[in-house]
Amino acid sequence: MRQGRLHRFPAMTRPPFRTATEAERAFYQAFAYADADAMIAVWADDEAVTCVHPMAPPLVGREAVDASWRSILEASVGVDIRVEVLRQNLWPDLVVHLVQEHIRLPDGDRRNPPLITTNIYQRSRDSWHMVLHHASPTGRGQAAPRDPGSLH
């Protein structure tokens, strides 16, 4: 399943998110449009949330995650991002998406190697929210396998 470029979505998705897919769309819209407030709204209000940016140490806790995304997005004018969902694991209150991110910076045609990313969403009483985002480079010119099977 392939999502189109997020700039095709005219309106930002806001909570409550009825599905994990809605929360994921909001996450990538916020990233594409460099909207820090929208990004913060995607994350669960929980001290256990975790974010691992490519080649960086884990950020644990809502305050650290919020500060990191605000810093990134407030210094950005947005990116062209295409997201390909490689695998979904679904439980009643938890969803895991393995995706491949294709990001192009707005300063030209340079394409970065794709990132392989794990996004985990949890359902609360009234909405789905992200609890983990872990992005990692796949290597220049390499694509993630369609069904990676085991992780190690």
Any domain includes 117:
yes
More confident residue, 86 or 110: 86
Token pair recorded at residue 109: 């045609």
In a domain, residue 33? The reply is no
So what's the pLDDT on residue 110? 64
The domain of 125 spans 43-58+74-138
Calculate mean pLDDT across residues 127-144.
83
Q: Strands 59-60 and 50-52, how do they pair?
A: antiparallel
Q: What is the pLDDT of residue 1?
A: 35
Number of domains in the chain: 1
C-alpha distances out from residue 114 to 30, 103, 111, 122, Å: 19, 7, 8, 25
Indicate whether 70 pLDDT > 80. Answer: yes
* Tens-place pLDDT, residues 7-47: 444 567 889 999 999 999 999 999 999 999 999 999 999 99
Mean residue pLDDT across the chain: 86
**pLDDT at position 9, please?**
47
Question: Which CATH number does the domain housing residue 119 bear?
Answer: 3.10.450.50
Residue 107 maps to a domain? yes
Question: Is there a contact between 64 and 56 (Cβ–Cβ < 8 Å)?
Answer: no
Distant-in-sequence, close-in-space partners of 37: CB < 8 Å, separation ≥ 6: none
